[in-house]
Chains A and B, each alone.
Chain A
Amino acid sequence: MIRHFPRPRFVRLTAVLAVGALTVAACSSNGDPSSDSSSDSGSTAPATSPTNTPANTPTTLTEVPVANPTSDLAALCPTTAPTEAVTLDLWHAMPVELGEALTALTASYNSSQDLVTINPVFQGSYDDTLDKYLTALRGGTRPGLIQLEETATQLAIDADSFVPMQACVDSADYSFEDYIERTVTAFTVSDTLWPMPFNISNPILYANAGMLAAAGVTALPTTLEEIRTAAQKVVETGTAPAGITLISSAWNIEQMFGLADEPFADGGNGRVERASELLIENALGLEIFTWMQDMVNDGLATFVGSGDNNEHLIALAVGQAAMTVSTTAALRSVKIGAATFGVEVTVGPMPSAGPRAGGALVGGGALWLDNSTSDAERAGAWDFLTWLTAPEQMAFWHASTGYIPIRRSAIDLPEIAELWVTEPEFKVAYDQLVEGRETNATSGPVVGNHSQVRSRALVPAIEKLLIEGLDPASALAEATTEANRIIADYTRRLGN
């Protein structure tokens, strides 16, 4: 039974210590055994208490997990060099060009050694991939490795069917020194690293450079207020029918909470204890929702739905709007599309609601190791995962997709150095990621059935706000009630 590991090995710091955060984090990442004795409790207020308000919630800093070769976990993942030939299926959700880049990587790995064969299998969207895996859990053939979206983290932990990556980290005494810490902490829950981070993205602002210039906007807007001013200029000068296109993306809302360093859910964003409710009915939530509604009502923004069909990006490419916000993973495609229409696209950091106190969340996917694997397969998988996230491979992956290279030294490699000179747009998401402070708020929410919370609570609330004109406070209240019901229902069924 792998469910929750009592692992009181890491110092958990409260906001009081925030000032010294980076130095402390650096020290304890040496694997200092003295940190093992630190208590797990007492560092956070009981987050589930009803009187708890977001403003009073101490911000807990998450740390990169440190290898502990003597832990009980280490036995789960023997990471000695592979000695027998193994083949592992890798289920992934990377379509077209992204899938081709991944396949090129696995092919390169397979030919680099004789013992481990990684067999990539495209399974559709992230949701489809998860569906198929959960179905396979009830008696089908499970893959050795599977790529899951960050929203699947709590669900995958609860599925009790994965070997936590922490086991391999411990047994290999692996160091994450060269990794961008935040990509590792994002997948660390209760001090255990669960999957290996792989394809990491965050949202950025895409803008039509020509239109902004024509409207007299000289600098790319970085806050919601500046977006509004820029949109006003675009619409008043008649440069485009709309300043910006908005989509009903819950991810964007979560990102704005991360940028403001406010947790999205209780329990330290679900990272210290299981989250039971969302913390969005507050001044920040109200500010974001009011801004969105006013933008649409004042004719400055067009609401184009879910964005699943890339309507917001198409609108940008054909000049129906001057700006939009979308994932950095779309950068390559947007550049190609915009060039077709003769539009010059420029990109900037994700706009924030106020001062950027926190940082952009770590979005994207990670690779999970199934626990139906044999010891030899686990050793093979670990060998592959460390190879895959090595700087050379990350440089290739970044240049061919737009996903962020998660290794610091990758950016010194010629592949990236040259790319960033010729196409500096690719640097924006990386900068935005490394600039962010490392807290539970900026590591992003870990919530049971997160994707349902998004699609059944947050998206409908945004739609009511922008289509039906429901007032922002009521929309937030409805979203919270529905989300809490979904989380409670999920948690209750876990106990079945």
Chain B
Amino acid sequence: MSGPVGQPPTSKPGVQAGRTRPRHRLLSLGLLAPSVIVLTLFVAYPFGRTIWLGFYETDPFGGNRRFVGGSQFAGTLTSDEFTSSLWVTFRFTLLTVPTGLILGLVLAVLAHQRLRGMAIYRTIFSSTVATSVAVASLMFLAVLSPSVGVVNQMIRWLGGQPIYFLQSTTWALIALAAVTVWQNLGIVFIVTSAGLQSLPEDLYESARLDGAGPIRRFFSITVPLLSPTLLFGFVVLTITSFQTFGQVDLLTQGGPLRSTNLIVYSIFDTAFRSFDQGRAAAQAVVLFVILALLSFVQFQAAKRRVFYGR
């Protein structure tokens, strides 16, 4: 996209390129420098350092490194805690990603009507984007409280026993998933709404003329045409679900019995509560490899099902 478009070449491209290459190269290096420096400082260096740290064991204060080879990496793969955290994180992803995508899409389709006052609904539906994790977590803490929460008050009115959502190994992860889905609703809503705006009206018109009902139109036109947007949402939600931290820290601290010990929280716990930086670094590297593989598989699998344009 860099070359001038629509201009006839003034000389043989090869000759010109050969003559100006050093200057171009200098210029491009200069232009690239800021991002190269920023990426090196904040991405490449910390990343390299994390891998390096994984080979050393520190004293409980992060000093006096001792080389221990790959034992911390091997230990990570075989540790019950790490594998159980991975498993919890997978379950958490399954609970949050499809639910979040479907709910966001449904809300977007509902709000994609030209009705009076729709702007108000759009504002409400997208408002969770502007809510911080801390606020969302504290809100759910109040809503789910066994003694004073609205949910349990309703259960009591209906004659049931209160549910200890955050204190039960069965419910805690579901409660965390609920906070997360609620929190993600805004971004999914905005992204899918934007996608809906760009869908061509003529397709719907001809489908209507062919006698397709709203459900048929949704599954045969909206979903396929929206698939790039949905893939984007899918990937972003998966990544954020693997990065979930705030909710866990505020609501459950990984408990009870590690049932909500999501992977990033587990790494934090190893690094800053056990003060074991080497082991935490090894865990982070293993997590990186797993995520890289997962993303690769995701894109490969999605390639065939995503429709990028007519």
- The interface size of chain B toward A, counting residues with CB under 8 Å, comes to 31
CB-defined contacts of A158 to chain B, threshold 8 Å = 60-61
Kindly state whether residue A434 has any CB partner on chain B within 8 Å: no
Cross-interface CB contact of A496 among B66, B164, B258, cutoff 8 Å: B66
Kindly state whether residue B227 has any CB partner on chain A within 8 Å: no
Q: How far is the CA of A158 from the CA of B63 in the complex (A)?
A: 12
* A320 x B60 contact (CB < 8 A): no
**Given A137-B61, A493-B58, A496-B66, A464-B273 contact (CB < 8 Å):** no
Considering only CB atoms, which chain B residue lies closest to A318 in the complex? B147
Q: How far is the CA of A451 from the CA of B253 in the complex (A)?
A: 14
Kindly state whether residue A26 has any CB partner on chain B within 8 Å: no
Kindly state whether residue A311 has any CB partner on chain B within 8 Å: yes
Starting from the known contacts A138-B63, A303-B167, A468-B169, 5 additional A-B residue pairs (CB-CB under 8 Å) come to A248-B256, A305-B256, A314-B145, A490-B60, A495-B59
Contact mask for chain A residues 134-176; partner B; CB cutoff 8 A; 1 contact, 0 none: 1101100000000000000001001100000000000000000
Tell me which residues from 21 to 63 in chain B have a Cβ below 8 Å from any Cβ of chain A. 57-63
* B257 x A496 contact (CB < 8 A): no
* A463 x B62 contact (CB < 8 A): no
Kindly state whether residue B295 has any CB partner on chain A within 8 Å: no
* B58 x A134 contact (CB < 8 A): no
* B168 x A467 contact (CB < 8 A): yes
* A463 x B60 contact (CB < 8 A): no
Cross-interface CB contact of B60 among A138, A314, A493, cutoff 8 Å: A493
**Given A311-B147, A459-B255, A452-B273 contact (CB < 8 Å):** yes
Considering only CB atoms, which chain B residue lies closest to A308 in the complex? B253
Tell me which residues from 471 to 496 in chain A have a Cβ below 8 Å from any Cβ of chain B. 490, 493-496
Considering only CB atoms, which chain B residue lies closest to A319 in the complex? B147
CB-defined contacts of B64 to chain A, threshold 8 Å = 496
Kindly state whether residue A455 has any CB partner on chain B within 8 Å: yes
* A496 x B147 contact (CB < 8 A): no
Chain A positions within 8 Å of B, measured between CB atoms, are 127, 131, 134-135, 137-138, 155, 158-159, 248, 303-306, 308-309, 311, 314-315, 318, 320, 448-449, 451-452, 455-456, 459-460, 463-464, 467-468, 490, 493-496
Kindly state whether residue B148 has any CB partner on chain A within 8 Å: yes
Chain B positions within 8 Å of A, measured between CB atoms, are 57-66, 141, 145-148, 164, 166-169, 251, 253, 255-258, 272-276
Between A and B, how many residue pairs show CB distances below 8 Å? 90
Nearest CB of B to A302, in Å: 8
**Given A314-B145, A493-B57, A131-B272 contact (CB < 8 Å):** yes
Nearest CB of A to B72, in Å: 12
Q: What are 19 A-B interface contacts by the 8 Å CB criterion?
A: A138-B61, A155-B60, A159-B61, A304-B167, A305-B167, A306-B253, A311-B145, A314-B145, A314-B148, A449-B60, A449-B274, A449-B275, A459-B255, A460-B255, A460-B258, A494-B59, A495-B59, A496-B58, A496-B59
**6 nearest A-B residue pairs (beta carbon):** A305-B167, A496-B59, A315-B147, A496-B64, A320-B147, A314-B147
* A304 x B253 contact (CB < 8 A): no
Cross-interface CB contact of B62 among A137, A306, A314, A452, cutoff 8 Å: A137
CB-defined contacts of B168 to chain A, threshold 8 Å = 467
Nearest CB of A to B245, in Å: 14
**Given A134-B275, A306-B255, A467-B256, A496-B57 contact (CB < 8 Å):** yes
CB-defined contacts of A131 to chain B, threshold 8 Å = 272-273
Q: How far is the CA of A495 from the CA of B169 in the complex (A)?
A: 38
* A467 x B60 contact (CB < 8 A): no
Q: How far is the CA of A320 from the CA of B156 in the complex (A)?
A: 12
Nearest CB of B to A482, in Å: 11
Report whether over half of chain A's contact residues are helix, strand or loop; otherwise say mixed.
helix
Q: How far is the CA of A449 from the CA of B269 in the complex (A)?
A: 13
Q: How far is the CA of A449 from the CA of B60 in the complex (A)?
A: 9
Nearest CB of A to B27, in Å: 38
* B255 x A451 contact (CB < 8 A): no
* A311 x B167 contact (CB < 8 A): yes
* B148 x A318 contact (CB < 8 A): yes
* B146 x A304 contact (CB < 8 A): yes
CB-defined contacts of A134 to chain B, threshold 8 Å = 61-62, 275
CB-defined contacts of B273 to chain A, threshold 8 Å = 127, 131, 451-452, 455
* B141 x A309 contact (CB < 8 A): yes
Nearest CB of B to A272, in Å: 22
* A460 x B141 contact (CB < 8 A): no
Cross-interface CB contact of B146 among A137, A311, A467, cutoff 8 Å: A311
Considering only CB atoms, which chain B residue lies closest to A456 in the complex? B274
CB-defined contacts of A495 to chain B, threshold 8 Å = 59
Considering only CB atoms, which chain A residue lies closest to B170 in the complex? A467
CB-defined contacts of A464 to chain B, threshold 8 Å = 257
**Given A320-B147, A467-B169, A305-B255 contact (CB < 8 Å):** yes
Considering only CB atoms, which chain A residue lies closest to B58 in the complex? A496
Q: How far is the CA of A20 from the CA of B66 in the complex (A)?
A: 50
CB-defined contacts of A308 to chain B, threshold 8 Å = 253
Considering only CB atoms, which chain A residue lies closest to B274 in the complex? A452
Cross-interface CB contact of A304 among B65, B164, B255, B274, cutoff 8 Å: B164
CB-defined contacts of A459 to chain B, threshold 8 Å = 255
Nearest CB of A to B122, in Å: 34
Considering only CB atoms, which chain A residue lies closest to B250 in the complex? A309
Q: Which of B61, B148, B272 has the most CB of A within 10 A?
A: B61
* A494 x B146 contact (CB < 8 A): no
CB-defined contacts of A137 to chain B, threshold 8 Å = 61-63
Q: How far is the CA of A463 from the CA of B252 in the complex (A)?
A: 13
Nearest CB of A to B88, in Å: 15
Cross-interface CB contact of B59 among A315, A460, A493, cutoff 8 Å: A493
Q: How far is the CA of A449 from the CA of B274 in the complex (A)?
A: 8
Nearest CB of A to B161, in Å: 9
CB-defined contacts of B166 to chain A, threshold 8 Å = 305, 309
Nearest CB of B to A1, in Å: 13
Nearest CB of A to B48, in Å: 18
Nearest CB of A to B200, in Å: 51
Q: How far is the CA of A22 from the CA of B258 in the complex (A)?
A: 46
CB-defined contacts of B276 to chain A, threshold 8 Å = 493
Q: Which of B64, B167, B273 has the most CB of A within 10 A?
A: B167
* A138 x B66 contact (CB < 8 A): no
Q: How far is the CA of A190 from the CA of B37 in the complex (A)?
A: 52
CB-defined contacts of A304 to chain B, threshold 8 Å = 146, 164, 167
CB-defined contacts of A303 to chain B, threshold 8 Å = 164, 167
Q: Which of A305, A308, A315 has the most CB of B within 10 A?
A: A305
Q: How far is the CA of A474 from the CA of B205 in the complex (A)?
A: 69
Nearest CB of B to A41, in Å: 28
* A468 x B257 contact (CB < 8 A): yes
CB-defined contacts of B147 to chain A, threshold 8 Å = 311, 314-315, 318, 320
Q: How far is the CA of A449 from the CA of B273 in the complex (A)?
A: 9
Nearest CB of B to A249, in Å: 13
Q: How far is the CA of A304 from the CA of B162 in the complex (A)?
A: 11
Q: How far is the CA of A134 from the CA of B274 in the complex (A)?
A: 12
Q: How far is the CA of A158 from the CA of B65 in the complex (A)?
A: 16
Considering only CB atoms, which chain A residue lies closest to B257 in the complex? A463
Nearest CB of A to B307, in Å: 47
**Given A303-B167, A451-B273, A496-B57, A315-B255 contact (CB < 8 Å):** no
* A463 x B255 contact (CB < 8 A): yes
